[in-house]
Amino acid sequence: MKKFWLLCLVVFFLSGCTSMELLMDKLPFINSTDYTGEGSSSKSTQEGSAFKELNSTSEQASEDEGMLLEGVIFNEIQTVNGEEVIQNASNLFALVNKNFGLPAEYFPDDLVRPNVSFSFGNEDVEKSKLRKEAAKALERMFADAEQSGVMLYAVSGYRSYDRQETLFTAEVQNIGGKMAVEAVATPGNSEHQTGLAMDISSRSVGLSLTEQFGVTPEGKWLEKNAHRFGFILRYPKGKEHLTGYMYEPWHYRYVGHEVAKEIYRNDWTLEEYFEKAKKMKDSV
């Protein structure tokens, strides 16, 4: 009987692969994994793997898009005296730049002094404060840096509208209005007023705020690791046309872990992040 089936097998094989596949379903003593012609289980496995890989990539892309949009709160803008003023100023993700400013009266109600080393010592002044969530993250970042042999110093955090006005006026008197707007934010358009930004330096540059900080071990450590604690390098080199400000390797802005991770991974500015997020939101 077995010889009969083997003879049938030869006949079916000569008649084509489709017949062979049908025969294999009827012959329990033939191991289907031994058959490797066209349409074989080997090819099916490869196609299945490719499909799984494609599906996995699609799922990852969807997750990335979800992460990009998750928790994003866009600026609520109202035009006041020709200026675009942010109404939801306490928004953790507030996009503050030359186009969007904060109300003159905005004052974060959760400012605290982080337990870190300051360039000016233990003096309890306005610039030593950050919003509570950002302050705690700064403490973790400074502690982690120190464990890595990197000593950081906080220089300037929260800055009121009035204080920014004083600084900007002084800069205009020193270098002129045109250059001043590239170096110092106008009152209301400074991230420091959010209570989410901190200028950071090191003893290797005399605790000053200078571009040289970017090439120091401390500056390099910050640029590589700040996102792990929810901070981003706000004004990176080569992105001046997007941020509107000169390269500032000392200026770090807290935006939370997920957003910071996305910005770092994609080498974006905060402006680019919101542009991408808005496009995705509009396409949904």
Which pLDDT score is estimated for 187?
93
Q: DSSP for 86-109?
A: ES-TT-TT---SSSSB--TT---T
Q: Is the pLDDT of residue 65 over 80?
A: no
Q: Domain 71-283: which topology?
A: Muramoyl-pentapeptide Carboxypeptidase; domain 2 (3.30.1380)
Q: Is residue 188 predicted with pLDDT exceeding 80?
A: yes
Please provide residue 29's backbone torsions phi and psi, each rounded to the nearest 5 degrees.
Answer: -90, 0
With a CB cutoff of 8 Å and minimum separation 6, the contacts of 183 are: 171, 175, 245, 246
Question: Buried (b) or exposed (e) across 224-249, using 16+ Cβ within 10 A?
Answer: ebbbebbbbbbbbeebeebbbbebbb
Higher pLDDT, 271 or 73: 271
Which tens digits make up the pLDDT trace of 89-104?
999 999 999 999 999 9
Q: Both ends of the chain: CA-CA distance in Å? A: 64
Using the predicted structure, report yes or no on whether residue 55 has a pLDDT greater than 60.
Answer: no
Per the prediction, the chain carries an average pLDDT of 82
Pairwise CA distance, residues 230 & 50, whole Å: 36
How far apart are the C-alpha atoms of 119 and 156, rounded to whole Å? 9
**pLDDT at position 36:** 36
Angle at 196 between CA 190 and CA 199, to 5 degrees: 70
Dihedral of CA atoms 248, 252, 255, 260 in degrees, nearest 10, equals 80
Q: What is the pLDDT of residue 257?
A: 94
Residue scoring higher pLDDT (42 or 69): 69
Mean pLDDT of 12-40: 40
* 149 band by pLDDT with thresholds 50, 70 and 90: very high
Q: In 208-268, which ranges are continuous DSSP H helix?
A: 217-225, 240-243, 257-266
| pLDDT, greater one: 146 or 283 | 146
Integer Cα distance of 105 and 32 in angstroms: 77
pLDDT score of 232 more than 80: yes
Tell me, what's the pLDDT at 181?
A: 83
Options 248, 262, 271, 272, the catalytic residue: 248
Q: In this predicted structure, which of 44-48, 258-262, 272-276 has the lowest mean pLDDT?
A: 44-48
Confidence of residue 20 (pLDDT cuts 50, 70, 90): very low
84 is catalytic: no
Identify the weakest region by mean pLDDT among 120-129, 172-181, 250-259: 172-181
